[in-house]
Structure 1
Amino acid sequence: MSDHSHLHGGLGAHLPPGTGDPLSAFVEPAFAAARDAIAAKAAALPFDTGARVGNLESGPGVFADERVFHQRYEHCTIYFGPRTGAHEIHGGIRDKYDSARGPELLGIPVTDESPCADGTGRYNHFDKDGSIFWHPDTGPFWINGALRDEWRRRNWEQGPHGYPLRDQFGPVPGQSVVLFQAGALCFDGSRVTDAPSATLGREPLLTYVWRTFERLMRESPDNVGLYPDRSIDAVSHSYGDFVRARNRVVTFTINGFHDAGLLLPDQHWSAHLQLLIQEIDAAQAGGHDIGVSEVHIEVQADGVGAPILARTLSAAIARALPLRVAAPAGGAQATFPPESGLIGVVVGPDASVTLLFCDTATGRIAAEIARRRIEALLD
């Protein structure tokens, strides 16, 4: 539909005072109401909308006889419906809404972009029981229907699950799921349940990392080894992304020595490893692996030839990454095939690593297998 508002001030400006715009009689009432409401909204917003982009457009609403309207601007889009009034979306939430075909999936906004209770996150609610939540540590992600209702019942992002880490999706037929900062919810068409899980705690994770590199050093020809002292020094926040937020990064320290021979004293070194632990696609077999990849490696050494030793160890550690945690022997198969229903892996602020699965018979079995593999890592 064309937007005739650009004609105001044209022909009507040359008529006697009080005559009015001669084209106004040809603008249908629904269009005029939407145009005026959106213009008023744009004028009232506390930020600059920028220039209009294109004309006022209309489309179907939730009900068969309902029409809704929207006007795009450089910095936001304003939607209007007779039931909802005029509301805006902007920034990352608008980008997500556009990419997800928002009007069909979520409906039109029933709120402006609004602050979350923590004062950092932002959200919009929509009229098809949908929402998009954004946080700098996660990014913008949508959730709707029964999963949204249950998350709302559990107090949204202030509840035990935190913010979504990716859009709602279906890992296996018959299951819709949402992965959060601290868990996942599953919907099978009739009920919402918590996802089955398996967790590798902070100390077992530290032991696993130490043992992995102890084996690497033992197999190295460079006469290096590890001391038993090791630590987890830091856990970062997660990192926002448009598709899937990146998990928290865990910083480990392992300490070791280099046997310099009979004539020289042993050299001592410390490696500080910033590692990302997250599900990754199993390229050859399909399904997913649990990957441990390098974010940053820093090695410090002392004694004669310390810089050379530090560079050699840094290179050796980098070559050992990424690791596939609890992968089957031989390496050809995915750790978790597609039918296992792996939803994702989350890293907690305490450095615990939790694997989450669809709440199906196969998913529950996969969670039990994952728990056994985690136990086997520490045998």
Structure 2
Amino acid sequence: MQNKISYSSVMNIVDHETFGSNERRTVRNSGIFLLDSSKKTNQLFFMGKCGGEVRIELTINFQQNTNGTLSIKESAKLYEGASTNSRDLDGKASKNTLVGINENKTISFRVRNTDEGGDYADITLQVSNVVIDETDCKNSIKAKAQTLGSGFTGSATSNINSPTSVRGGKRVTFQKCDIYCSPQTGPHEIHGAIRQKYNSVGGPNNDLVIPATDETTTPDGRGKFNHFTGNGSIYWHPTTGPKLVRGGIRHTWAKTGWERGTFGYPTSDEIRIDPSKAEWFSDFQNGVIYWAKNKSIKPHTASLSGAKVRKMFEKIFKEKAKDQKDLNVESVRISTVSDTGYDFTRSKNRKVTFKISGNYESGIFFIPNPSYTITLRIAFESDKNPDGKVACTLKARLDHWHIHTSGVGHDKLLKGLKKAVLEGFNKPFELGDVPKNTGFLSFKVMKNGGIKLYFKGDVLGSFAALVAQKKLDKM
């Protein structure tokens, strides 16, 4: 059962101590929304100000009842002082109302200044409660589209009076979104990058089937998701892009706390390693979930800590700058590690920014040596997206650079450093090759600037991780 609620709220506010055109003000708000099994309540909040002294705050709570009726509670507060910082409460009033099935009702009450003065507000709420059978997908989709508004949906691109039958339910397509419906789910919209991802994997013909929720903001406030009836979800984040996660991997991820857990957001769709086996994995910002033999199995890994990556880069930098014989390198440190990067298919790795500082031996003993600070942002990449089978070459390349010099003779130093950086880092430097069919799943930069390689959680993956670790230790 669905309740389509149409409302129009009017607050006629009077500031009794103000004379002239600013003594009275009318504040109007209206809209449409749905209540159903997935959302049985809704709360609205409106504010109105009048003169320099009166502020009204109105809260309206709507509750869907099991018999289709609608319970409404209105609470109004009158504050002395129009500023929202003022908490000088001078009056309050409330009203409880029951609206029947397919009934229109007008509800009125007044909130007064009970402390001093004759300030007040007359509040009127007009409500329409239309009950829709959730099995009637045509009217449910129509009501949903009306609730969202044409600015959100755009024009319908399929027949809204005759929804298209799809696997799992019905669908009407719009310019900016699609609305799906089934008797079990009710109507739900899908839009933006999540809609694009959903359609790219086959829409309702994929194992996801149809949406079970609208696009919803994640609890951390940064991402978006739609859950689907086929035990799957598509998650979007501004630094990952839309990614599909489902089945046992989704269940394992959920047990760790979803996107707020140790894994973070998904950075790949679910990837099947061997079509002849139930062997899958999904890449995440901070790890990999590998699924085989109907259970989650911990991947094998090889890694370098952030400290060892810093040391490795210091060695590389000194090698690239060896022609600058009088260059003193005083410190090399990791200054920042970026977030993952947006991509529709496989999110980009984090980037590591190194800061190198030191001075140059000028040869003039009574003048301080000119000093420098070099900022180099390095992108760590695999030439191919690891999938457990393909051979990959792991590389690091210069993504951004900046050089600052100071002191007597620093112009010459700047020129030499630019030459060393541009020539020394003009090509990516290879970190190593991973042969094919070694169960290589992911090459990842961690939050601390360390790097980690993930392999299948089987005997072959264990051996490959051991070989990779030995190679990393020699870098």
Match of 2:447 in 1: 349
TM-aligned CA deviation for residue 349 of structure 1: 2.0
CA distance in 1, matches of 2:404, 2:251: 51
Match of 2:93 in 1: none
Structure 2 residue runs of 5 or longer lacking an equivalent are 1-132
Which structure has the highest strand share of the two?
Answer: 2
Picking from 331, 339, 343, the partner of 2:437 is: 339
Q: Helix, strand or coil for the counterpart of 1:37? A: helix
TM-aligned CA deviation for residue 58 of structure 1: 1.5
Cα distance, 1:213–1:171 mapped onto 2, change above 3 Å? farther
Are positions 1:324 and 2:425 aligned together? no
Deviations 1:258-317 (A, max 9, x none): 5667999965433211111232239xx961122212220112234432442243123123
Match of 2:381 in 1: 278
Q: Helix, strand or coil for the counterpart of 2:332? A: strand
Picking from 272, 277, 291, the partner of 1:187 is: 291
Aligned residues: 328
Match of 1:11 in 2: none
Paired residues for 1:148-167 under 5 Å: 148-167=250-269
Amino acid at match of 1:366: A
Q: Helix, strand or coil for the counterpart of 1:281? A: coil
Which structure has the highest helix share of the two?
Answer: 1
TM-aligned CA deviation for residue 348 of structure 1: 2.2
User: Whose RCO is larger (CA < 8 A, sep 6+)?
Assistant: 1
CA distance in 2, matches of 1:307, 1:203: 28
Match of 1:376 in 2: 474
TM-aligned CA deviation for residue 83 of structure 1: 2.0
Amino acid at match of 1:54: S
Amino acid at match of 1:349: K
TM-aligned CA deviation for residue 368 of structure 1: 1.5
Are positions 1:144 and 2:242 aligned together? no
Are positions 1:75 and 2:182 aligned together? no
Paired residues for 1:192-207 under 5 Å: 192-207=296-311
Are positions 1:216 and 2:320 aligned together? yes
TM-aligned CA deviation for residue 341 of structure 1: 1.9
CA distance in 1, matches of 2:435, 2:138: 52
CA distance in 2, matches of 1:216, 1:286: 31
Cα distance, 1:88–1:311 mapped onto 2, change above 3 Å? same
Structure 1 contact 278–344 (Cα < 8 Å) conserved: no
Structure 1 contact 249–277 (Cα < 8 Å) conserved: yes
Q: Helix, strand or coil for the counterpart of 2:259? A: helix
Amino acid at match of 2:179: I
TM-aligned CA deviation for residue 163 of structure 1: 0.5
CA distance in 2, matches of 1:267, 1:317: 22
Cα distance, 1:172–1:212 mapped onto 2, change above 3 Å? farther
Match of 1:170 in 2: 272
Amino acid at match of 2:306: R
Structure 2 contact 442–454 (Cα < 8 Å) conserved: yes
Match of 1:292 in 2: 396
Deviations 1:139-164 (A, max 9, x none): 11001111112112222112211110
TM-aligned CA deviation for residue 54 of structure 1: 2.8
TM-aligned CA deviation for residue 115 of structure 1: 1.3
Cα distance, 1:229–1:82 mapped onto 2, change above 3 Å? same
Larger Rg: 2
Cα distance, 1:357–1:172 mapped onto 2, change above 3 Å? farther
Match of 1:65 in 2: none
TM-score, normalization by structure 1: 0.79
Amino acid at match of 1:345: F
CA distance in 1, matches of 2:459, 2:263: 23
Match of 1:366 in 2: 464
Cα distance, 1:363–1:225 mapped onto 2, change above 3 Å? farther
Amino acid at match of 1:342: F
